[in-house]
Chain A
Amino acid sequence: MAGFTGRTSSLIKYNDRSLKDLTTTPASVSSSPGALVHIKTLTASSSGTLSFVHGTDGVVLDSTYPIYKFEFINIHPATNGVAFEFNLSIDGGSNYNVTKTTTNFGAFHSEDGSSSALNYDAGRDLAQSTAFQTLFTSGTLGNGNDESTSGQLKLFNPSNTTFVKHFMSNINYYANSAYSINCYVAGYGNTTSAVNAIRFQMSSGNIDSGKIKLYGIKDA
């Protein structure tokens, strides 16, 4: 480019590679950052489990953020009549078996309009159990082509070593008996050890498709 004579200080050049690879904003952009930071998206493809392990594959799940948010986008099972569930790990994903006490309730309404209610589901809460926690209230998810579940789960201060680890979820799903079910599951991992991994799976079979997106919420 020896022959180039641009407008000196007011003209700068980027090739498209440099823009595409950019991972940090210029100072003027950083002065007003978003507080919701995308960390990782996992896309299911006949997946037995989807796990977010701190320090693995770009996953951050430590004291960097006080609150983590998982978004579930059209999670679709391979098997008919299953539930979507999760568990926590305090050993970097070697074991997903944190002791939990939880609540579970939801509202449902049938497509034909004949049935609706708001119920606590005493069969799907946990009392000091290490089992996976279902994110569903009553019913199960079908594997029809248009059936899926979407929603979110928030996990508070997973790396804290003083307090239990609170979480709360709200998801909606298309039950295989043609119901819309709005589910509220919450509780705590009853441990003062840092939670550093989380796993999602179906109660049986694979997660055929769908995305789980992990975000961190800044507190500064």
Chain B
Amino acid sequence: MALPSEKLITINDRGARTATTFGSVEASDGSMVFIKKLTASSSATLSFVDGASSVVLDNTYKEYLFTFNNLHPQNDTIQLMVNYSIDGGSNYNATKTSTFFLSRHQETGASSELSYKTGQDLAQSTSNQQLTVDTDNDNDSGISGYLQLFNPSDTTFVKHWISRVQSVQTNAHSMEHYTAGYVNSTSAVDAVQFTVSSGNIDAGDICLYGIL
């Protein structure tokens, strides 16, 4: 076998099959993996349950990311909310302690605010956690943002989450909401449910990703 020059290399098909980077393809970050997309269509709830409908929400990943893309509520002046389950989605009532603050600015420029909201935080409560306040349902008003959930399957520690959600408020404010806290349980969280405080989620989608 006479190789034409040093420009020729050989690899067997095992090498190709196990390769993880291929030239420019390595620029595509494989550490964030798409898992599931739920699209609202007059939906009362959008739920991600480990093991159901291809959802993975276990120890496969140490961090999960939910993204909200133009969720549009049926009713005006509603709250987007989240809750967690430790029994495969039979009950969404995990005990939570959380913080909540927001910034807002009115389109007229007349009003702006950065403040902690004691009405939206939770203290050892099983209630739904608000992710937005007084969200508008005009045709062009949607909710976008994300929620990170850390190590949900862990059975030693509480389960932390952090969210940042941007929306249009009923009185034409740009509203940004910052929520964080923990599920005060050492049981594995294996399901997450999103809902609104009244009516349905008309449209929009929530995507779930795993972070390697």
Is the pair B174, A188 in contact by a Cβ cutoff of 8 Å? yes
Contact of B1 among A4, A156, A166 (CB under 8 A): A4
Q: Say whether A28 contacts B9, CB under 8 Å.
A: no
Q: Does A62 contact B (CB under 8 A)?
A: no
Chain B: interface residue count, which band?
35 or more
Supposing A1-B4, A219-B37 touch, asked if A11 and B10 sit within 8 A by C-beta, the answer is yes
Give, as a whole number of angstroms, the nearest-CB distance from B116 to chain A: 10
Q: Given the interface contacts A21-B23, A157-B144, does A184 sit within 8 Å of B207 by beta carbon?
A: no
Partner of B140, one of A19, A67, A102, A192: A192
Q: How far is the CA of A126 from the CA of B7 in the complex (A)?
A: 57
Task: Please tell me if A26 contacts chain B, counting CB pairs below 8 Å.
Answer: yes
B166 CB within 8 Å of chain A: yes
Question: B209 touches which one: A19, A35, A157, A166 (CB < 8 A)?
Answer: A35
Chain B facing A: main interface SS: strand
Is the Cβ of A101 less than 8 Å from the Cβ of B107? yes
Choice from B2, B30, B31, B176 contacting A103 with Cβ under 8 Å = B176
CA distance A87 to B137 in the complex (A): 26
Q: Which residues of A contact B2 (CB under 8 A)?
A: 1, 3-4
Q: Are A38 and B164 in contact (CB under 8 A)?
A: no
Could you give 24 example pairs across A and B, Cβ below 8 Å?
A: A1-B1, A1-B2, A3-B1, A12-B16, A13-B8, A13-B9, A21-B23, A34-B29, A34-B31, A35-B32, A103-B176, A156-B70, A157-B70, A162-B140, A163-B140, A164-B141, A166-B144, A186-B166, A187-B174, A188-B174, A215-B29, A217-B32, A219-B37, A219-B67
Chain B contacts to A: CB under 8 angstroms: 1-2, 4, 7-14, 16-17, 19-20, 22-25, 27-34, 37, 67, 69-70, 72, 103-109, 112-114, 139-142, 144-146, 164, 166-168, 172-176, 205, 207, 209
Q: A25-B22, A67-B67, A157-B69 are in contact. List 5 more A-B contacts (CB 8 A).
A: A3-B2, A4-B2, A15-B8, A120-B103, A166-B70
